[in-house]
Chain A
Amino acid sequence: DVKVTQSSRYLVKRTGEKVFLECVQDMDHENMFWYRQDPGLGLRLIYFSYDVKMKEKGDIPEGYSVSREKKERFSLILESASTNQTSMYLCASRIRASNEKLFFGSGTQLSVL
């Protein structure tokens, strides 16, 4: 089975801290995605990556950056965490074809105090 692993299940940070969320997939997928999930808003795309060292902004990239130095790893970076970034963060991966399904990690619940 495909496995998408997010490094932390729960994370508590303080306002202004730099936060790294890590995601690793083990199926050699080209595409990787970061979403945030908020009640009543569903999933919103932050960034995605077609392949190594490639990245594209999603619908809500402000306040975030990403890094894809290796194919299996896609990192989400909050340069200076703010309270409105408290959310559930979901990583997903997929083979190159866009009609294929996404495989999701279990999520990281980030609280910024």
Chain B
Amino acid sequence: AQSVAQPEDQVNVAEGNPLTVKCTYSVSGNPYLFWYVQYPNRGLQFLLKYITGDNLVKGSYGFEAEFNKSQTSFHLKKPSALVSDSALYFCAVRDPTGANNLFFGTGTRLTVIP
């Protein structure tokens, strides 16, 4: 079975500071991992993905994420937060050997304080 955990419901960070949104996963094989962002009254937008290769993945809007197999984590990071980064962030995982759909975490609300 596949699952994903986002341990923090809410993350607050000051503008200009680095931000981290945490994600851990559980799958039986090598995972496909994704981050999506949801701005108010909008659908989800793709940020980045890890399929294979380099453990550090760069995505949209200056975000990056690091795949850590030993810790089964895929934390989202950004060196300098913007107020406009305030949104709801979802981590998602798929076990390539399992069912053909993504399993989403419960989401982390990021608030960047001016």
- For B99, what are the chain A residues with a Cβ–Cβ distance below 8 Å? 56
CB <8 Å contact, A101 and B34: yes
- Interface residues of A: mostly helix, strand, loop or mixed? strand
What class of interface size applies to chain B in its complex with A? 20 to 34
Contact of B43 among A41, A45, A101, A105 (CB under 8 A): A105
Q: Does A33 contact B (CB under 8 A)?
A: yes
- Please judge, given known A-B contacts A40-B106, A99-B51, whether A106 and B100 are in contact too, CB under 8 Å: no
- Interface residues of B: mostly helix, strand, loop or mixed? loop
Chain A positions 63-109 with a Cβ under 8 Å from a chain B Cβ: 90, 92, 98-99, 101-107
Q: Does B41 contact A (CB under 8 A)?
A: yes
Smallest Cβ-Cβ distance to B102: which chain A residue:
A102
- For B44, what are the chain A residues with a Cβ–Cβ distance below 8 Å? 43, 90, 92, 102, 104
Task: State how many residues of chain A have any CB contact under 8 Å with chain B.
Answer: 25
CB <8 Å contact, A106 and B49: no
Smallest Cβ-Cβ distance to B42: which chain A residue:
A106
CB <8 Å contact, A42 and B104: yes
Interface string of B72-111 (1 = CB under 8 A from A): 0000000000000000001000101001111111110000
Min CB–CB distance B6 → chain A (angstroms):
8
Min CB–CB distance B36 → chain A (angstroms):
8
CB <8 Å contact, B43 and A104: yes
Q: Which 4 A-B residue pairs are closest in the complex by CB-CB distance?
A: A104-B43, A42-B106, A101-B46, A43-B104
Which residues of A are in contact with B by a Cβ distance under 8 Å?
Answer: 4, 31, 33, 35, 40-45, 48, 50, 56, 58, 90, 92, 98-99, 101-107
